[in-house]
Amino acid sequence: MAFHHAQQVEALNERLSSLKDINVSFEFFPPNSPAMEETLWGSIERLAPLKPKFVSVTYGANSGVRDRTHKVIERIHAETELQAAPHLTLVDASNDELRELARQYWAQGVRHIVALRGDVPAGQPNPNRYAADLVKLLKEEHDFEISVAAYPEVHPEATSAQSDLVNLKRKVDAGANRAISQFFFDIDAYLRYRDRCAAAGIDVEIVPGILPVTNYQQLLKFSDFAKIRVPNWLHHMFDGLDDDPATRKLVGANVAIEMAKVLAKEGVNDFHFYTLNRAEMSYAICHALGVRPGV
Ligand SMILES: Cc1cc2nc3c(=O)[nH]c(=O)nc-3n(C[C@H](O)[C@H](O)[C@H](O)COP(=O)(O)OP(=O)(O)OC[C@H]3O[C@@H](n4cnc5c(N)ncnc54)[C@H](O)[C@@H]3O)c2cc1C
């Protein structure tokens, strides 16, 4: 039995060492202090040689700081060769404003947008506008490349898993070119979701969103909010490390590399990293996937 398991591990590692044509993308958020700004640009500089397919910059819906997303996008365009995709949410803008913004983005050379609804602020009525509407609106303005969000463990507000899947289909039918998944640790849930998408005729990549874990307590809060299952084994991995960031980082990198191995074995070619503006962990996982400078 032990021998058999060792063979499986060896097979996974062998497969990892023979991977070709893996695409990666990196997600950043706009910094809100000079120190965080420095961290972000250091990370972009470190990750750029890995030639990501694109990098994306989140947008803090309802915070009135869309400008911060634009600034980061502009600087990436000015200083690097990277394709930079702004995230755009519709909850806090009228359709006219969104159309105007789409025109501005196109004029500035933006060709790829991550189109989202955004979270409806607590206490506000549901606007009854959805990401599929934004995809349609953007496509009407220009032929943008569009990425949308997908939820292997179901979006918390969805009435059912099936209706959430139908929603993804609507976004793809409206013109989305790829779906980026919410982060997850339950690999089976992701793989089942991918199968269900294929069966529903959703013919774009469901790119797994990988969240390299460094701050476990924060992860627990995110996961609770987004209704992401945190398996017992993950609790066990990080148990007792609350005051030990160095070990947490090593464990987090190991967890993410193991996940990437299994996903790659299951035929996943595209990986999206929630970098939280830090390069180190994403860089290590890319290295393990054979994504290296100059390759
Ligand atoms: C990769 C990724 C990046 C993100 N980036 C950002 C960001 O930069 N800024 C930010 O604020 N948030 C971001 N989010 C979070 C996202 O805005 C929230 O999860 C939001 O609550 C849903 O956005 P959506 O685009 O998935 O919405 P939608 O696809 O519109 O779905 C929202 C909910 O409505 C349901 N629904 C859809 N259509 C209908 C309909 N016709 N009738 C009834 N129900 C319907 C869906 O099932 C789902 O439950 C991101 C999420 C992901 C996965």
Phi and psi angles of residue 209, each rounded to the nearest 5 degrees, phi first: -90, 120
Ligand 1 centre to CA of 66 (Å) is 18
Query: Is beta strand 145-150 parallel, antiparallel or unpaired with respect to 112-116?
Result: parallel
| Within-domain flag for 248 | yes
| Within-domain flag for 66 | yes
CA distance from start to end of the chain: 38
Domain with 208 in it: 21-288
0.95 exceeded by pTM: yes
Provide the number of structural domains found in the chain.
Answer: 1
| Within-domain flag for 11 | no
| Within-domain flag for 181 | yes
What's the chain's Rg over C-alpha atoms?
19
Ligand 1 centre to CA of 89 (Å) is 9
| Within-domain flag for 61 | yes
Q: Which two tokens stand for residue 72?
A: 């980061």
pLDDT for 65: 66
Is 27 an active-site residue? yes
| Within-domain flag for 5 | no
Q: Which two tokens stand for residue 293?
A: 């400078």
The closest-lying atom of ligand 1 relative to the alpha carbon of residue 156 is 49
| Within-domain flag for 16 | no
CA dihedral 29, 276, 33, 226 (to 10 degrees): 70
Low-confidence ranges of the chain (pLDDT < 70): 1-3, 61-65
pLDDT for 45: 98
Distance CA 179, CA 158 (A): 17
Assign residue 164 the CATH number of its domain: 3.20.20.220
| Within-domain flag for 293 | no
